Amino acid sequence: MTIPTRDDGVTRLKLILAYDGTDFAGWQRQPRQRTVQAEVEEALGRIVGRPVRVQGAGRTDSGVHALGQCAHVDVPDRLARRVPWRTALNSILPRDVRVVEAGVAPPGFHAQFGAVGKIYAYTLWRDRACVNPLRRRFVWDVPPLDDAAMDAAAAVLVGRHDFNSFRNLGTPVGPRGTVRTLAALWRENDPLPGETVWRARADGFLKQMVRNLVGCLVAVGKGKATPGEVRSILERCDRNHGLPTAPAHGLCLERVFYAEDMPIPEGTRPDPVAALSAVGDVEPRDVGPGPDGVEGATGSGCSCQSNGGAV
């Protein structure tokens, strides 16, 4: 196989990473903090023999987990052909972070700027009398909830909206602003008794957006807010609404999507909404397709999907 290289003597690798975020201060490297980016960069530096910079698709917060974080790194051409990257990195990395896949990236690939969508999963534990000790690091234990009311609120949130009401206060807003397309927001009963998983699929997420959406849904499930009030909060575009933010440890970045992940007709630009809806055309990894063909979704439950809008 011919490995594509660049004119500057380096080859870009694409990495898929999984990590238990419990003991990390998030993805991004920070002074005097243990972060996923720092661990991966240090492992790569030992192999390459010099410092390297790893670019992630997104910056997961402290305590947030990942099954499908994507990143890229540039390595010398001479090593790209010789090193079994997945095996080599996993022999160095700590046990709470693993390289799931590693290979040469497509031409022009950029883990952050090339992403057309992401799926996050948030897991609720519905039996407070007995939280499974093997799951306590990955779930938010909640009281009994009104699923029908939560489903109705989820339907309000799906679509192309200004999600300023659901972002972290004080976080700078980038050039994209606060408008995002939430293509789907659905609930599934996990095979493990007591768990319910909410998945959100969008073209991108604001800081803490998923945790704020889940906190809102749980408030509705408790009867502290109604679907109509959720619509009003969304339309006001004001974060000062008093609904809770779900804790970080229940959240997991499941997958990042790129245009090359799905078939695109020749001579056309990818439509991200259509691309995200066509994930069922992608070869599955660990689990089967969900209610709308989304890889990484299993089981049954409510599925709310957007009917249009550019992602």
At 6, give phi and psi (nearest 5°). -105, 165
Buried b (16+ CB within 10 A) or exposed e, 236-275: eeebebebebbbbbbbbbbbbbbbbbbeeeeeeebebbeb
Listed range (124-128, 172-176, 237-241, 242-246) with the worst mean pLDDT: 172-176
What is the separation of C-alpha 203 from the centre of its chain, rounded to a whole number of angstroms?
11
pLDDT band at 159 (very low <50, low <70, confident <90, very high): very high
Domain 10-104 and domain 116-305, same fold? Reply is yes
The tens digit of pLDDT for each residue in 32-69 reads 999 999 999 999 999 999 999 999 999 999 999 999 99
At 17, give phi and psi (nearest 5°). -120, 145
Q: How many CB atoms lie within 10 A of CB 285?
A: 13
- For residue 240, which of 172, 152, 157, 167 has the smallest C-alpha distance? 167
Which pTM value belongs to this model? Answer: 0.83
- Mean pLDDT score of the chain, rounded to an integer? 85
pLDDT band at 282 (very low <50, low <70, confident <90, very high): very low
CATH topology of domain 10-104: Alpha-Beta Plaits (3.30.70)
Judging by beta carbons within 10 Å of its beta carbon (0-12, 13-18, 19+), is residue 185 exposed, middle or buried?
Answer: buried
Judging by beta carbons within 10 Å of its beta carbon (0-12, 13-18, 19+), is residue 49 exposed, middle or buried?
Answer: exposed
Please, what is the Cα angle at 105 between 99 and 107, to 5 degrees?
Answer: 170
Can 203 be counted among the known catalytic residues?
no
Q: What does the block give as tokens for 139?
A: 């779930």
The tens digit of pLDDT for each residue in 247-274 reads 999 999 999 999 987 654 444 344 444 4
**CATH class assigned to 116-305:** alpha beta
The tens digit of pLDDT for each residue in 162-174 reads 999 999 877 778 7
- For residue 253, which of 10, 20, 3, 83 has the smallest C-alpha distance? 20
How far apart CA 213 and CA 210 sit, in angstroms, is 5
CA end-to-end distance (rounded Å), the chain: 35
Report the pLDDT value the prediction gives residue 241, as an integer from 0 to 100.
84
Q: Which of 7, 61, 147, 281 is catalytic?
A: 61
Amino acid at 185: L
Q: How many CB atoms lie within 10 A of CB 137?
A: 14
How far apart CA 88 and CA 73 sit, in angstroms, is 15
Question: Is the pLDDT at 209 greater than 60, yes or no?
Answer: yes
**Annotated domain spans of the chain:** 10-104, 116-305
